[in-house]
Structure 1
Amino acid sequence: MDHTVFQLGLAVTLIALAGLLSSKLRFSVIPFYILIGMAVGPHAPVVGLFDFRFIESASLIEFLGRLGVLFLLFYLGLEFSVGRLIKSGKSIAVGGTIYIVINFTLGLLFAWIVGLPFKEILVVAGITTISSSAIVAKVLIDLKRTANPETEMILGIIMFEDVFLAVYISILSGLVLSGSSSFVDVLISAGVALGFMLIVLIVGRKCAPLLNRLLNIRSNEVFLLFIFGFLFLIAGFSETIHVAEAIGALLFGLVLAETEHMKRIEHMILPFRDFFGALFFFSFGLTIDPLSLGDAVWLSLGAVVITLIGNFVAGMLAGRMAGLSNKSSANIGLTIVSRGEFSIIMANLGKAGGLLAILQPFAALYVLILAILGPLLTKESKTVYKIINKIFRLDKPKAAAVSSVPDRDREG
């Protein structure tokens, strides 16, 4: 008998209970969604006669979760505008390069130090470099930080990461899957990803008056159908040219942010963002096998430490290069520390290539830890910055610099 609808209803109920518990504890809801997914996932143990595993509906929930990522990134794009990103283009390119170089280098060094083979080193570096677009978007929206000065840089780094991801996956697929990835292929992948982003942003900005007329629809039903249709078309097309579908959704949101219908779209999309976004994190938990995590504990903890250090340093450098304050710069590194869907993709690539079996449990535990730590660090960023500032004195007291002159005068 097909129990898909019943399991879906049970999943939504469990998600609602997890959300209620997180609100009572005043903690980020994301880890609760992931953990409840792990508890009832296909890999969960059967207790006596009770089998709570989600097997029949797992593929459906996974697909609904993919829609959740699209809605999260689309909504985040609505909070910005193409014009703001274009003005910050140079600083975003510099900040994105700094972020990738630092985190990728640390990932390579870490994997080499622990003694992994060459191909595994490349996979681990990919796992530890790319942050989770879905988690970052969810945290920024939940904490109402979309208007913060550092959020432009965060958004830019997410897009920059996707260009890197398109290039890196093309290289890694060729090496790991015993194919070939020529320099020309790499250049084509990078050019297509970057070109697609620029075309959508530039053409979208020029077409704002046309979009205003096209979306001047009274019926909410028809209006929403047009928005959904274009959203899925653009996201789906971006996936076919090896640009993450989530980035396609983000770009579409940025384009519509230039129109006079932005507030109406934002209001109507909100329930879909929350519902499908919750399903994404739940579905992510379904993919994690709790029994396989034990062997990768120390490897995962080591990777978490270097990621926290790398993200903070990269965020500080990227922010300061863009003229942001130390506090805003620290927020960059603390916000994009979460890892998620892209890290799992890298681990699955390693599995497909027949690499060491430790890669998947390592990626799962590493992602789970940072999915819990990331939102917590972002929420408590003020406290974290105060502690770091006390240790490293990032903000040197101005009074000390002023008083030093009369002190020297007295000594003379």
Structure 2
Amino acid sequence: MHSEFPSLLGAGLILLFIFYLGFLSLKIKLPNVILYILLGIILADFVHESELLHFASEIGIVLLFFLLGLEFNVKRLGGIAKKIWPSGLLDVFLSLGVTTGIALLFNLDLFSSFLIGGLAYATSSSITAKLLDDRGRMANTETEFMLAILIFEDLVAPIVVAILFGVSTGESFASSTFLLLVGKIIGLTVLAIVLGKTVFKRFERFLDRIDDEDFKIALLVGIALAYGGLALYLGLSEVLGAFLAGMMLAEIGRIEKVEQTVFPVRDLMLPTFFIYFGTTIELGDGIPMVGLLAAVLVWSVIAKILLGVLGGPMYGLSRRVSLRAGLSLCARGEFSVVIASVATGVIKVFSGIYILIAAFIGMFLFEQASAITNKVYGKPVKKKKNLKVPGN
């Protein structure tokens, strides 16, 4: 009789938990993401550093952003890039810069302060995108602005991580390192554009000739994972690589042909990302630096709301829509976990508690964004249609 717990049994139990929690979330009207993260925290001691769970979670998050990328062809992405950079820089200042300053005021050293600034900077791409999809807000006016901010943050966050890793290992972050990172991002983007305009130009016809759905799954998931993996290999975010992979295929005429094949795989794998995310959160034995924790939590919410209120109009959004966008960008997640891995001792425990609370606050504000906006600006007035009466 085997003494070790079989991985296959563990995988089966996790899938059953996912089913039950998904069903429970409908009954109690709570986002299933919250329940998945709580399950991860509970299971942390049993599945900590599980390669199987980690791999499944990577597939889920890559396919989520692959499908998002399908909505943005090169022409549309170029137009968004021109509009988003002022709001993106405002985000860097408010979330990264000011938070670093707050930590310095609490007498932390520069490295620890910058690390906490990094924790508070990047919105959780996975949580935000999942909630947008679950709540049917993908077609909303503010969604393009929100996704553009997420991608901008995914470009800046690797640079922040590189600085922290360099300093923590005693290396200096030279300007050449920064230029190399920027070069990798540009190179990966240009390669995606070239492949989209050449190799994948007639991809729709090729897909039509494949009758077996199994082969389509292997092909499309393989493209998403390969480009996401290439981004990881270059020291960038797999989320960025997956988004660019989707953008490559966005040039085809009917993206629903790709979506209907990939959706089932994404829906099966994505919950494992949030469970794995929960297992990575370090809670420790108590809450250290309560004053700083409260200050950073409050400011990190204010910073994202200000990003929406001030940055939304820069992007061309109305004040109402801008506020709703800001309230929907408050969750912290995967990049914060990566940055927290650099921390040690008290700062590491602080980071875990901050990420957990910020994720829950962000999800709550996302759910209440429309209601809060209506309280501030009043309920939107439906436009009356001028009906022509026959005979008039």
TM-score past 0.5 threshold: yes
Contact in 2 for aligned 1:38/1:290 (Cα 8 Å) = no
> Which whole-Å CA distance do the structure 2 matches of 1:89 and 1:54 have between them?
40
1:12–1:292 distance in 2 versus 1, CA, 3 Å: farther
Q: Which moved more, 1:203-212 or 1:219-228?
A: 203-212
Structure 1 residues 201, 371: CA separation in 2 closer, same or farther (over 3 Å shift)? farther
Where in structure 2 are the equivalents of 1:151-162 lying within 5 Å?
A: 151-162=143-154
Matched length = 375
Shift of 1:180: 1.9
Q: Deviations over 1:227-280 (max 9, x none)?
A: 111111111111111220111111112222321351122112222222211011
The reply on whether 1:94 has 2:86 as its aligned counterpart is: yes
Distance 1:297 1:277 in 2: 33
Contact kept in structure 2, 1:154 and 1:332, CA below 8 Å: yes
1:384 matched to 2:384: no
Letter aligned with residue 327 of structure 1: R
Structure 1 position 298, deviation (Å): 4.4
Cα distance in 2 between the residues matched to 1:300 and 1:75: 35
Structure 1 counterpart of 2:63, from 44, 59, 71: 71
User: 1:345, CA displacement in angstroms?
Assistant: 0.8
> Secondary structure in 2 aligned to 1:63?
helix
1:373 paired to 2:361: yes
Residue 227 of structure 1 pairs with residue 220 of structure 2:
yes
Partner of 2:8: 5
Is contact 2:282-2:353 (8 Å) kept?
A: no
What amino acid is the match of 1:23? Answer: L
Distance 1:82 1:245, change over 3 A: same
Per the alignment, residue 126 of structure 1 pairs with: 118
Identify the range of structure 1 (66-75 vs 371-380) with the bigger mean alpha-carbon deviation.
371-380
The equivalent residue for 2:231 is 238
What code does the residue aligned with 2:369 have? Answer: S
Provide structure 2 residue ranges, at least 5 long, that are not aligned to the other structure. Answer: 381-392
The one-letter code sitting in structure 2 at the alignment partner of 1:2 is E
Root mean square deviation of aligned Cα: 2.1
1:294 partner SS: coil
> In 1, distance between residues paired with 2:267 and 2:201?
30
Partner of 1:283: 276
Match of residue 142 from structure 1: 134
Q: Does 1:113 align with 2:105?
A: yes
SS of equivalent residue, structure 2 residue 343: helix
Give 1:317's match in structure 2, choosing from 305, 310, 320.
310
* Paired amino acid for 1:258: E
Structure 2 match to 1:294: 287
Q: Alpha-carbon deviation of 1:359?
A: 2.0
d(CA) in 1 for partners of 2:286 and 2:206? Answer: 51
Residue number among 33, 37, 46 corresponding to 1:34 in the alignment = 37
Q: Letter of the aligned partner of 1:236 in structure 2?
A: G
List per-residue Cα deviations over 1:10-49 (Å, max 9, x = no partner): 222222222222111112111111111111221xxxxxxx
What's the counterpart of residue 104 of structure 1? 96
CA contact (8 A) 1:301 1:366 kept: no
2:308 equivalent to 1:305: no
Give 1:194 shift.
3.2
Q: CA deviation at 1:209?
A: 2.5
2:350 counterpart letter in structure 1: F
CA contact (8 A) 1:320 1:326 kept: yes
Structure 1 counterpart of 2:205, which letter? Answer: R
Aligned residues: percent identity? 28
Q: Secondary structure at the match of 2:302?
A: helix
1:340 corresponds in structure 2 to 333
Contact 1:293 1:364 in 2 (8 A): no
Letter in 1 for 2:56: L
Which is worse superposed, 285-294 or 374-383?
285-294
- 1:71-123: CA deviations, max 9, x gaps? 21112222343332222221112221221222112211221122211110111
Question: What is the alpha-carbon distance in structure 1 between the residues aligned to residue 297 and residue 92 of structure 2?
Answer: 16
More moved, 304-313 vs 5-14: 5-14
**Structure 1 residue identity aligned to 2:120:** T
Amino acid at match of 1:366: Y
Change (3 A) 1:376 1:39: same
Superimposed CA distance per residue, residues 112-148 of structure 1 (whole angstroms, 9 cap, x where no aligned partner): 1222111101111111101111111101111121122
Asked if the contact 1:81/1:255 (under 8 Å) is kept, the reply is yes
1:27–1:376 CA contact under 8 A, matched in 2: no
Q: Distance in 2 between matches of 1:359 and 1:204?
A: 44
The 8 Å contact of residues 296 and 365 in structure 1, kept in 2 or not, is answered as no
